[in-house]
Structure 1
């Protein structure tokens, strides 16, 4: 939705002109019929993400206090998925190589598929790879001419999201893996009468 509305309203093109100081060109290129659709949904998505985050934080506190169990292993049609510790630096590295590979590294298949598909679309319509190959050949003017700047401006948000999402999810998955190990050791090896009171020293 965001890509379609952005392209139809020429938001990225207006941003490019405004960065260059051509404010009048930025005003002329904007399509207000599409832009007015863009604004309310953009505001709603910000509000809804904040509201959902607050609700999820409350659920997290309840699950933490109840010491609620969660699924750590599943076999499905798409893959065998399991909870284990991963390296956050590797997830960032693979996301920088190609958006979506960081999500694949931590087994988030749906998210990886979504990001990779859009990365391919952006690479195709922006002619970025074509521009890079011309740049390696020393054809700087031709490399600049072949680039579609309107599509090229999608890459910062795509790379930013893919990198941030894979890093944060790797860190949080590692915390869950540690919690599972802790609960396993407590239930398997810790004596039932053993207790450490919070905030007190045990002698």
Structure 2
């Protein structure tokens, strides 16, 4: 589900916004119902759902939000991993906990100690 990766990374506001947006899009487009019908062999019912004029708009919106969510979660996780690698290489101090108005960021001290070999 879109937003869960952001929630796991401590980006709560963005994670919940994306999750609610995903649910909203699924309710309005009935896209998951069409997928369920297609997977259970009810192809005519799935086709009827996808023939509505508004479904095209909602499916395009669903796809763009889904791709953005995957990309953003991946880039955030890569940035966190690079930070841990930099701390290990430079033996620099690491701020493991940060709270801003929009998100909480924290790193597990166990993870940092494991990479340092202690």
**Given the two structures, how large is their TM-score scaled by the length of structure 2?**
0.66
Greater RCO, CA 8 A, separation 6+: 2
* Partner SS, residue 92 of structure 2: helix
| In 2: Cα distance, 1:118 partner to 1:167 partner | 19
Partner of 1:141: 44
Cα offset, 1:179, TM superposition:
3.1
Aligned residue among 10, 13, 16 for 1:113: 16
Superposed CA RMSD:
1.8
Cα offset, 1:101, TM superposition:
1.1
Query: What stretches of structure 1 of length at least 5 have no aligned partner?
Result: 1-97, 185-203
Give 1:49-64 correspondences, 5 Å limit. Answer: none
Cα offset, 1:170, TM superposition:
0.6
Partner of 1:100: 3
Partner of 2:33: 130
Cα offset, 1:137, TM superposition:
2.6
Does residue 179 in structure 1 map to residue 86 in structure 2? Answer: yes
| In 2: Cα distance, 1:111 partner to 1:117 partner | 10
In our comparison, the structure showing a higher alpha carbon Rg is: 1
Q: How many residues align?
A: 88
